[in-house]
Structure 1
């Protein structure tokens, strides 16, 4: 179960986290979780290059280690990276010390001030430690591209119908998201550019 649009009560649970940027400017922020992987990251990067826009990639450390050339391509093409733990850990099912150590292991690769907890969840005790070192980035538009029961067209609708000024949009850079990302990402970008949104990094 997931909510496409982040509800107000969820934002209240994590008030120090960043769910969206200023609603006063027509800027939006594309983000991609879980990569880099050879099956999808090149398509994402090619699409971003085609439209000449930049995005933020929340990378998993073990995927950086497996695919260093793709991580270097993300950086060399001017995109931003963030920390998404080394092993995509579930914070609420992981001991605090182990979770923080796993994040640090990823940090040695990403060297980023940005962190997004996998699944958007972490214990308050974990976040308390993290807030002093990172900007915790959540989102306000979840495309649902990870949902195997979701059609590519519905994924597209999730993205374009819920985006507004300052939206942080989540796509996934993983294998199960491939058919929805390949369909929805270029169409989402084209639509939002037509609406005069500007794409920026966080």
Structure 2
């Protein structure tokens, strides 16, 4: 039994209006996002797929993965994609006390903005863009307490949720279902969630190239979260 909505219900969006669920526009702009990386081989593969369509995306990174794989993290920035905070250890906000949750997010922010991992020159200049983008945050599992969210907003964070969930992480759906989750629910302004993780790769490997192909043919434009 599924415990999630593939298409976020409009009532949820109305109940939580301070979270960003989509970014309405009339220009067929959509926003691919990837959670849980950077992950060796998988994130690099994602970057290659995006590059074939000159598609830009936003990567919500886990701090410990940034620290473990700075070269992949730097490559995300080098390719012109945006970076968001996804906590340092993929914490569930509902199961974590407020102080610990906020501290964990700060650890991730420090990893994002740790400029000693950024080479000098042009990439160093691009890292300034990365610094600004670190003020977008997606809670793992979409689970965050109201008090935690208030504190994050006071720190300047914008909380990014989603309009369309690919469900690539779900081992009980087929790769064809994963693809259909995206292409049948995407509309102008949709924020779409994929995962550049080992668990999701079976579905991602099939769905992402076909998603890019299908949506490109339908004149959608892939952009970074513009905050």
| TM-score class, shorter | over 0.9
Q: Are 1:115 and 2:158 matched, yes or no?
A: no
Q: Are 1:149 and 2:175 matched, yes or no?
A: no
- TM-superposed deviation, 1:65: 0.8
- TM-superposed deviation, 1:198: 0.7
Which position in structure 2 is the counterpart of 1:70? 72
Distance of 2:147 and 2:99 partners within structure 1 = 10
Deviation sequence 1:104-136 (CA, Å, 0-9, x none): 110112231110000111000000111231111
Distance of 2:193 and 2:172 partners within structure 1 = 18
Deviation sequence 1:51-95 (CA, Å, 0-9, x none): 111100000000011111100000011100000000000001000
Give yes or no for contact 1:31–1:170 (8 Å, CA) kept in 2: yes
Q: Which has the larger radius of gyration?
A: 2
1:176 partner SS: coil
Among 45, 61, 71, the alignment partner of 1:43 is: 45
Q: Are 1:177 and 2:194 matched, yes or no?
A: no
- TM-superposed deviation, 1:39: 3.7
Which position in structure 2 is the counterpart of 1:4? 6
Distance of 1:9 and 1:122 partners within structure 2 = 18
2:17 partner SS: coil
Q: CA RMSD in A?
A: 0.9
Structure 1 gap segments, 5+ residues each: none
Which position in structure 1 is the counterpart of 2:152? 130
**Residues 24-63 of structure 1 aligned to structure 2 (within 5 Å):** 24-63=26-65
Distance of 1:93 and 1:72 partners within structure 2 = 31
Structure 2 gap segments, 5+ residues each: 113-130
Query: After alignment, is 162-171 or 38-47 more displaced?
Result: 38-47
Poorly superposed stretches of 4+, deviation over 3 Å: none
Among 167, 170, 183, the alignment partner of 1:160 is: 183
- TM-superposed deviation, 1:23: 4.0
User: How many residues are treated as equivalent by the alignment?
Assistant: 202
